[in-house]
Structure 1
Amino acid sequence: MNRPAPAGPLPTLVPLVLLALLGLTAATGCSSTPDPALAPAAPPAASAPTLTADATPTDAAWAQLMTPMNEKAVALLTLAADRATTPPLRAFATRLRSAQEAELGRLRPLLARMGLPDTDVHAGHDMPGMVTEKDLAAARAAEGAAFDRLFLTQLRDHLRHSAQVSRSEITAGARTDAKELAAALVTAREAALTELARLPGAARALG
């Protein structure tokens, strides 16, 4: 994988770097060619955040994706902790919500150490594994087995894609603290996917 060139204002660069980081192909439902529409217009140079010297655009892209991914997943998990149809599924959602909130407690300080704002630079982008506002609205409207299916499908996608991105950070990132957190996230995602597959009714719900 070619290393992203550290040129240009970061808000414009990050979505493009992220596409390279993800290694998105047609197999994931996205073109491997970056879509110019994903890159927002660059703000004035004076307002562009400046990466610290030991952070690369890959580190920034990972942290700026994982933070909103976790935030949206926590919102979905909060719904499931209350509305899933079985006690094991509600308990799983509650545990995973706590774990992902704890990860946010490490991701947000990491952004600050890299000189980046705690804002969602991917708002409005259809990123793989990201729970969207449309997804949350559908979850709020669903009931019973339909809610369980929607929750499990979205959560599985979130866990798989966030693990994929984190593995790329381990390989291509530069900051030790970011790579260590990415490794912890991969371990957590793999454990969660294993637990999810063993939940009563999960196999039937996921097809």
Structure 2
Amino acid sequence: MAPRRLTTTLLLLTLLTLLTGCAGEGGRKADPSPGPAQTGTTTPRSPSANPTDAAWVQLMIPMDAQAVLLLDLAARKTSGPRLRSWAARLRSAQVAELTALRGLRDRMGLPGTDVHEGHDMPGMVTAEDLGDARVAEGAAFDRLLVRLLHEHLHQSKQVSRSESSAGGSAEARDRARALVTARGEQLAELTALRERGH
């Protein structure tokens, strides 16, 4: 892996508690599909939500959104029917997850901006990754897809496990626990696909 991808669990867990500092960097573009609260009024943040909750939500939304862009390519570029079918199911799950996370973000009173735009975060499908995926074909695309999705699923599971124990919002912790469970199942399915050669 290129050095730009940080992969240690310790760094991930430390990062989750520090990410709210990124929110102070102005000029970030808006999340492409903001929730209904982004219409001029915001719901005050729940007093039970802490910086870890905000950091987790603001990280998970762009992580999932970038993964969906990759999965859009998978719908027409995967060479194997099993991998294509699994990727389609994963895309549906990620879209539903995004809807839930955006709703949680809005209820927490957080802005609909991507505070991580341009950051090569662990588990994030980057613009460079998407560019590579657009030009890859056949088995090369499948290998790239599997590698990037494995990183995304693994890393998002790690930060969600941290949120489930360190978050202050019961709703966010419950959402994180559900995501950890889902990621475990998704990773198991992906591992089986790899073992069968996709």
After TM superposition, the score normalised by the length of structure 1 is 0.75
| Equivalent in the alignment of 2:118 | 124
Give deviations 1:4-51, integer Å, cap 9, x for gaps: xxxxxxxxxxxxxxx9xx6317xx9x99xx8xxx847655xxxxx974
> How many residues of Structure 1 are paired with residues of Structure 2 in the alignment?
172
| Equivalent in the alignment of 2:85 | 91
2:174 counterpart (155, 169, 180)? 180
* Amino acid corresponding to residue 119 of structure 2 in structure 1: H
| Equivalent in the alignment of 1:15 | none
Q: Which has the higher contact order (CA 8 A, sep 6+)?
A: 2
Query: Could you tell me how far 1:117 is from its partner in structure 2?
Result: 1.5
2:11 counterpart (1, 10, 24)? 24
1:101 counterpart (95, 99, 105)? 95
The runs of 5 or more residues in structure 2 that have no matched partner are 1-5, 27-42
Larger-Rg structure: 1
1:115 counterpart (109, 125, 128)? 109
* Amino acid corresponding to residue 114 of structure 1 in structure 2: M
Q: Does 1:59 align with 2:46?
A: no
4+ long deviations beyond 2 Å: 38-43, 49-52, 203-206
Give deviations 1:122-165, integer Å, cap 9, x for gaps: 01111000001110110001001110010000000000000000
CA distance in 2 between counterparts of 1:140 and 1:204 reads 25
CA distance in 1 between counterparts of 2:48 and 2:102 reads 17
CA distance in 1 between counterparts of 2:83 and 2:22 reads 38
Identical aligned residues as a percent: 54
Q: Is the 8 A contact 1:85 1:148 kept in 2?
A: yes
The runs of 5 or more residues in structure 1 that have no matched partner are 1-18, 44-48
After TM superposition, the score normalised by the length of structure 2 is 0.79
CA distance in 1 between counterparts of 2:83 and 2:89 reads 10
CA RMSD, 1 decimal: 2.8
Q: Does 1:155 align with 2:142?
A: no
